[in-house]
Structures are given as C-alpha cells and as structure tokens.
Amino acid sequence: MVLTDRYWEMAVLGNNKQCPKPIALARSWYQRRSEAEPLLTHEDDRKIQDYLYQVWRNEAEEAHLALLCLRCWVSHQIVGACTQLAEQFGQNYGFTVNDLCGLVLDDDGRPTLIYEPLSMKILKTYDPQQSALSTWANRITKSHPEINKFCLEHGLYRISDWALLNDTQPSGLGNILPMLSQAELDRTIDLLTSYHRVYRRDRMIQRQQNKKRASRCQEPTPAQLTEMMPDMAPEVVLSQLSDLARQLRAHRIAVRRGMPFTSPLDDIVENQQYTHHVEDDSYEQDDFIQRYRSLFLACLDEAIESVAQSYVNAYQKRKPPQGSLFLSALRLFHCEGLSMKAIAKQLGLSSQVQVSRLLQLKRFRAEVCAYWFNQLKEEVKTEALQFIDPERLSAITEQLEEILAEETEAVMAEAAAEAQSSKKQQTKSTFARRLCRVISNLGIPPKVPKK
C-alpha cells in the first residue's frame, strides 16, 4: 500500500481479520484536493495530517471530507497499536492481533455518524500541540477499556511494577494481603510508605524539571533503594518491592475479574478525603455507594428510553411507518426470548434477516452504552462533590471515568452474550431487564398534518 492510500482506505474487520476498505468519497476528494495542494502527494504523514486537521477545523464546507480521510488513517494506527500489543504479549497470554482488533476497530467509514467509533474519539481529543497523531492514537487504543478488560481476562495487567506500587495506598494492604501476620504487615506498610516517600518525591521533581507529565515509571535506582531502606542492601529492597508488586498485581486481576460492579468505586471512595467530616466516615461512603447504584440504573433507563425513542421516531418516517414494528420486535426478542425466526413469523416478515436489520442490535447497544456512559459520568461527578474535595475529584477523574467505562461496557457485554445465545430463556441480563421495564412507556409520535 502506498502510504497516502491510508487516507482513503479504512482498516475494517472482514472474515474476523482486519483488511483495507476503499472509501470512494475520501479518495476522490483527496485526489482532487492534491491537485491544488502538492503537499498531499508527499509521504510526510505529520504535514499531511496537520493540513487535513486544519481543513477539518476551519473549512466548514469540506470539513467532513478531511475528517473522513483522517479517520481512515487513524484506523490503520489502531491496527498498529493492536499489532504491537499482540507481538509483545500475545504468545504468552494466548491472543492474536485479530482478537484485539475485534474490540476496537469499529469505524465503517460512514460519513454521517450516530455511533461514535474509536477513530472519532481519538481525533476529537487530539491536540496537535501536545503530540503526534500516531502517538495519541497508539496511547488511546492501548488504554481502551475493552482492551484492558480483555487483557485482564487473559491474566495480563498492563502496568509496571513501579506504577502499581506508586498507585497503592499503604492503608489498604491489610485487606489486600490478609494472610500476613501483624508484624509482617507492619514491615510491608513501612516498605511501601518508604517507597512512596522517595519515589513520588523524585517523580515530582522530574515533572517540574521537564514542565510536563513525568515519563513512564522506571525501576528505582540503587541510590533511591538505599534511601528507602538504609539498613538493607539495595538488591534486597528491590527484591522485596518486586515481590510486593507481584502480590498486588494478582489481587487487582482477581478483583477486576470477579468483584461486583461497585467495588472499584468503593476503593476510590475509601481512599479520599471527604468535605463533610463526621465520626463515622463509613456512613458517608455507604451513602455515596447507594446513590451511585441508583444512578447506575436510572441513567441506563434514561439511555434506553432516549435511544429507543429515537429509533422509533426514525422508523415512523418510513413508508409504511415501522415504529410499532420495531418496538414489537424489541419486546419479543428481549422480553419474551423469541428467536429472530420466530419473531419474523409472528410479525409477518419474510425472514429473520429482516428482523436483524430492523433491530440493529449491535449498533443499538453501542448507542445506548455511549449515551449511558456520558450521562452517568456527569451525574456521578456531581454526586461525588458532596463527598470528595473538588481538587481531589479533579485528580481522580481519569481513574473514575475508566471505572465507569468498564462497568457500563461489562453490562453491555453481558447483554451481547445473552443475545447471541442459541438457548432462548427467561431474560436475565441487566440490560434486557431494564429495557423491558422502559419500552412499555414508549409511544409512537403523532403524525404531523400536512399544511
């Protein structure tokens, strides 16, 4: 492939592997634009991307075409990031590049989007002043919640030992390592506290000197190890820290694989400073978690109602109107557990393919999940301000959003697995149960009389 071809060929999934898909609209525009802008015929990606980015941001008439070309290029960067992960970890942890691409390669090249693919999220959050687009795409892809979840399920927790130690509170070690005697626990807490004192100080100095975020957490130097525990040889301190990191890693994998959906949020709340101090802090923690659980489901209900109603409205504009047909198919599939074939027969459709096209289940779930996550994120942040100092909330926002993304997407993954099951049974997934509660209240929009 010529390098510039990547600006009009979208990397998509086909036959369970990634392959290029020519986008005629992007190609014709790119080649026409190249006649007036010789830069686009060169193979300097950074200059081409800067040009396309400026067109997207500043030229209203052709912005969507420049954006389409950028989305094509970013799709190949997503494949590249998945390839790097597979080459680095795939053989040892049992996965391939195609397994990873199936999680994040979700742009089909459509110029008008309801569902926002990963390529769009990358471009919307990209800042040319901070990094190259390739660097940003690589970083966002590798930190995608679906990638993280998949890796955890395969026993891979992608964080260095030193970042893991830096991110662990000494006060929580008793719960993480309950097998330790009190004397062993005290020594371990002392070790981790000393590590934080020296390591965090030096990273803060590094950040101030570089005037930017500190680099990836590196192994402590012999001088740092000596300062942490002066009475021990540096290699002994390093060995003890590595052993502690190994235990912390095993604990985090176990927690993220099997604990209830509120437990990561519990962990955040337990370690924060509250704005309202009472004798029993656990009362406020429990109050926040209870409110969060309520918001979790309320926002899901709102997302289902809003997205389903938008589908009904769109189907009503067809000739003949199909809003009622869509609601009936949705109810029969999720609430009564009928197969696509049985639904087609009951609704008078010619085949189960017609039912699949009517429901668009994968896209429907994706749009509900996106709406749900955005709504839940804002609601939880507002609620958290009653319990966490604003400055601290700002500091943990990224961690909070990652947890919310993991939890909402876990619910949708459960729904997807249930939808694909060949054994039709009583509705069990959280998504399906909430949908069945909500859709009974949806209505068909009245016809607007013609003037």
What's the pLDDT tens digit per position in 69-103? Answer: 999 999 999 999 999 999 988 887 888 999 999 99
- In 3-state terms, what secondary structure has residue 274? coil
In terms of domains, do 330 and 247 share one?
no
Domain count, the chain: 3
Counting every residue, how long is the chain? 451
Residue 326 has a pLDDT of: 92
In terms of domains, do 139 and 171 share one?
no
On whether residue 351 sits in a domain, the answer given is yes
Q: How far is CA 221 from CA 135, 198, 227, in A?
A: 28, 11, 10
For a pLDDT cut of 70, what percent of the chain falls above it? 81
Residue 394 has a pLDDT of: 66
At residue 101, what is the residue type? C
Task: List all residues 6 or more positions away from 218 whose beta carbon is below 8 Å from its beta carbon.
Answer: 160, 162
On whether residue 263 sits in a domain, the answer given is no
Domain containing 149 equals 3-153
In terms of domains, do 182 and 119 share one?
no
Q: What is the pTM of this model?
A: 0.49
In terms of domains, do 178 and 106 share one?
no
In terms of domains, do 288 and 426 share one?
yes
In terms of domains, do 165 and 143 share one?
no
Which tens digit of pLDDT belongs to each residue from 168-196?
Answer: 888 888 878 877 788 889 999 999 999 99
In terms of domains, do 26 and 121 share one?
yes
pLDDT confidence band for 263 (50 / 70 / 90): very low
430 vs 212, which has greater pLDDT? 430
Provide the 8-state DSSP code for 11. E
Residue 446 has a pLDDT of: 62
CA dihedral 371→375→377→383, nearest 10 degrees, is -160
Residue 229 has a pLDDT of: 95
pLDDT confidence band for 35 (50 / 70 / 90): confident
Residue 129 has a pLDDT of: 83
User: Please, what is the average pLDDT of the chain?
Assistant: 81
In terms of domains, do 50 and 171 share one?
no
pLDDT confidence band for 284 (50 / 70 / 90): very low
**220-237 mean pLDDT:** 93
37 alpha-carbon distance from chain centroid: 37
149-163, 269-283, 302-316, 327-341: lowest mean pLDDT where? Answer: 269-283
On whether residue 273 sits in a domain, the answer given is no
On whether residue 276 sits in a domain, the answer given is no
Spell 120-138 as b/e; 16+ CB within 10 A means b.
bebbeebeeeeeebbebbb
Which tens digit of pLDDT belongs to each residue from 38-57?
Answer: 777 766 788 889 889 999 98
